[in-house]
Amino acid sequence: MNDNLFQLLNQFAGRYDWFDDLMTFCAQDIVWIMIAILGFLWITGKENNQKTVFYACLTTVVALLVASLIISPMVNHPRPFVDHQVHQLIAHAPDASFPSDHATFAFSLAFSILFAKRKTGVALLALAVITGIARVFVGVHYPADIGGAILLSFIIGFLVHKMRGKLDFIPLFFIRIYGKLVAKVSFLPRSQ
């Protein structure tokens, strides 16, 4: 089933240059849009937004560490282009593919924000889904790699969200530092 779903998406790669370019952008660069959204939330100067951004970053770091240091070495699943002839649109090292780091990054941000800010979270979740589909389309991940990233991101995001109240002293420390820096630069909004 994993191979069949991969072939279903990847078979369309290489047919239209404009669509390949779009999917390549989505596979590699859509995460920058997500980071920009987090940056905007931070510079609003609202403490709740800044704490949400902190927890999104914490979720992402923890999920990526679990993925790269524990899960990926244990599973050691090869990428599609290692085992099969595929339409590979982006260069990638032939390292382990499960779970997808790009998808883990995108879904960790999305779920973390979704737990705190519903509308923004839904928008980020849509971008994460597009990223996941694009990673399969360009030939560097299987659908299960994306599914694993989704599950891991959700679990870590949920656990971090549940611990928010107990960990608030950490983001508040960084928010205070930001506030002191902003006091010296007048064009940035202060934390409220």
pLDDT tens digits, 173-190 = 988 888 877 767 665 555
pLDDT-based confidence at 14, cuts 50/70/90? confident
Q: What is the pTM of this model?
A: 0.88
Is the pLDDT reported for residue 56 higher than 60? yes
pLDDT of residue 192: 55
Instruction: Please report whether residue 33 resides in a domain.
Output: yes
As a whole number of angstroms, the distance between CA 130 and CA 26 comes to: 7
107 neighbors 153 (Cβ within 8 angstroms): yes
Range of the domain at 172: 2-88+96-177
pLDDT-based confidence at 45, cuts 50/70/90? confident
Please report the DSSP string for 108-122 in residue order.
HHHHHHHHH-HHHHH
Instruction: Please report whether residue 183 resides in a domain.
Output: no
Instruction: Please report whether residue 184 resides in a domain.
Output: no
* 100-125 burial code (b ≥16 CB/10 A, e <16): bbbbbbbbbbbbbbbbbbeebbebbb
Is the pLDDT reported for residue 34 higher than 80? yes
Instruction: Please report whether residue 188 resides in a domain.
Output: no
Instruction: Please report whether residue 185 resides in a domain.
Output: no
Instruction: Please report whether residue 189 resides in a domain.
Output: no
HSE-CB of 162 using CA atoms within 13 angstroms = 6
92 neighbors 140 (Cβ within 8 angstroms): yes
Across all residues in the chain, what is the average pLDDT? 90
189 neighbors 43 (Cβ within 8 angstroms): yes
Instruction: Please report whether residue 124 resides in a domain.
Output: yes
Q: How many domains does the chain have?
A: 1
